[in-house]
Amino acid sequence: MGKELIYEYFKVLSPDYPKWLDEYIKTERMQKQKSISVTCGKVYSKLFNYNDYSSLDHSIGVALIIWNFTHDKKQTLSGLFHDIATPAFKHCVDFLNGDYMNQESTEELTKKLISDSKDIMKLLERDNIDIDEVCDYHIYPIADNDTPMLSADRLEYSLSNDLIVFKTNTLEEIRNIYNDIEIQTNENGIVELGFKTKKIARQFVKNTSRLSVCYRDDATRFFMQAIADILKKINKDGLISKQDLYELSEQEVIEIVKKSKYSYAYDTLINSKKVNTSKKEPLNIYYVKHGAKIRYIDPLFKGKRISCECKIAKKMIDNNLSYDMDNYVYINDKLNILID
C-alpha cells in the first residue's frame, strides 16, 4: 500500500505527468537517493512511529509540483536535483557539521555531484540546458524561498509527511489543500504559491504547525544528534569517511556501525521508546541540549499573509514558534560512549 499511495499522491501533484523527467530520475546519482529516508533515520527507531519516504520520492514530488505550476523544464529539474547532495541520514550530517540551526551544510556539493554525473550531464547537453540553470533551485521562487513563505519544497515535505510519514491526513484532504493553491504575488512583488480560500489556508497552517513541532521536538533533536555523534565517532576511528556518506546507502552505513564498538549505543538508541528531559543538567550521562531549525509556514491568502488575515492562524503560528527547546534530553548511561 505504501508505494501505491505514493503513486496516487504523485498524480495529485501533477495530473499531467512529465514523462521526459523519467530519464533524469533513472540516472545513477538520482537513484542513490532511493536508499536515503527523509526521516533522517528516525524510521528505524522505536522512538517514532513513521512510514518510510525516500529522498528520491521527495525530490520527484518537488519536481512534480514545480511542473504542475510552471511547466518549465529548467525549474522542474532544479527541484529534482535540489537534494542530490543529500547524504545517508540526511540532516543528521548537518548536526554532525554543527549546522543544526540552518541544516544547509551539504547543499554546496549540489553542482559538483551533478557535474560529476556523466549520465545527467549527457541529458542536460542533449536538452540544451546549462548546469547553472538547474543546480541552484534558490533562484526560482516557486521552487524555493525563505521561511515562512510557501515554496514547492516546503509544500511537498509538508504534504508527504502529513500523508505518508506521519499518517495524519488522507489523500482526499491532501487533494483538497493542493487544489486550492495557485501562483500569487507576495508583499515583495515576487511570485509565490498561495491559497484561494481562507478556511483551507487556515487548515494548512494547523497541519504544518503540528508537523513543525515534530521536526524539532525533544526526541527528534536527541536522536539526530546521537546519530551524528555515532557517525563522528566511526569517522574518527577511520571506519567511514564523510565522502562515504554520499555514496553508501543508509543500510550499508548501519552495517558499519553495527560492526564497530558503537554498536551497543546504536542498538540502545533505536530500541528506546522514550527520552527523558530535565531543566537541570544531568550528571555523568550523555545528553543533548540545543535548538534546531524552525520549519514553519505563513502562507499567502489572496496575496496577503494568512497571519494578517486570520487571528486563529496567527495564534497557531505563534504557539508553534513558542515551543520550548531548552530541555536537557537523555536516555540512559548506555550512550555514555558518545561523550567526548
Task: Give 92-126 pLDDT, tens digit per residue.
Answer: 776 677 654 554 555 578 999 999 999 999 999 99
**Mean pLDDT score, 195-201:** 98
Alpha helices in the chain (DSSP H): 2-13, 21-25, 28-31, 55-70, 73-81, 92-96, 110-115, 118-126, 152-160, 171-178, 198-214, 218-236, 250-258, 263-271, 306-309, 311-321
Looking at residue 34, what DSSP letter applies?
A: G
Residue identified by cell 508583499 is 187
Q: What is the pLDDT of residue 103?
A: 44
What's the CA gap between 184 and 285, in Å, rounded? Answer: 51
Confidence band for 272, pLDDT divided at 50, 70 and 90: very high
pLDDT in tens, 164-186: 999 999 999 999 999 999 999 99
Q: 96 or 10: whose pLDDT is higher?
A: 10
Q: What is the mean pLDDT of residues 34-59?
A: 96
**Which pTM was predicted?**
0.94
Query: Which of helix, strand or coil describes residue 274?
Result: coil
Q: Cell triple for residue 1?
A: 500500500
Mean pLDDT of the 65-83 span: 98
Which residues make beta-bridge pairs with 304? 301
DSSP 49-76: -----BHHHHHHHHHHHHHHHH--HHHH
Correct CATH for 1-340 of 3.40.250.10, 3.30.565.10, 3.90.79.10, 1.10.3210.10: 1.10.3210.10
Task: Say if residue 302's pLDDT is above 90.
Answer: yes
Residue 337 CB neighbour total at 10 angstroms:
15
Mean pLDDT rounded to a whole number for the chain: 94
Instruction: With a cut of 70, say whether residue 337 has pLDDT above it.
Output: yes
Looking at residue 7, the DSSP 8-state letter turns out to be H
As a whole-number percent, the residues of the chain with pLDDT over 70 amount to 96
Measuring CA to CA, how many Å separate 67 from each of 4, 21, 60, 106, 163?
A: 21, 10, 10, 25, 21
Domain layout of the chain by residue ranges: 1-340
Which residues, 6+ apart, have CB-to-CB distance to 237 below 8 Å?
A: 260, 261
Helix H or strand E segment including 329: strand 328-330
CA separation, residue 228 to residues 95, 113, 162, 225, 294 (Å): 6, 23, 25, 5, 19
- For the purposes of burial, counting CB atoms within 10 Å of the CB of 281, is it exposed (0-12), middle (13-18) or buried (19 or more)? exposed
Q: Give the chain's largest Cα–Cα span.
A: 61
Amino acid at 217: D
Q: Any idea what the Cα angle at residue 266 is, between residues 237 and 218, rounded to 5°?
A: 115
103 vs 95: CA distance, rounded Å: 8
**CA atoms of 204 and 190, how far apart (whole Å):** 21
| Number of residues in the chain | 340
Rounded-to-integer distance, Cα 208 and Cα 269, Å: 27
Residue with cell 496577503: 304
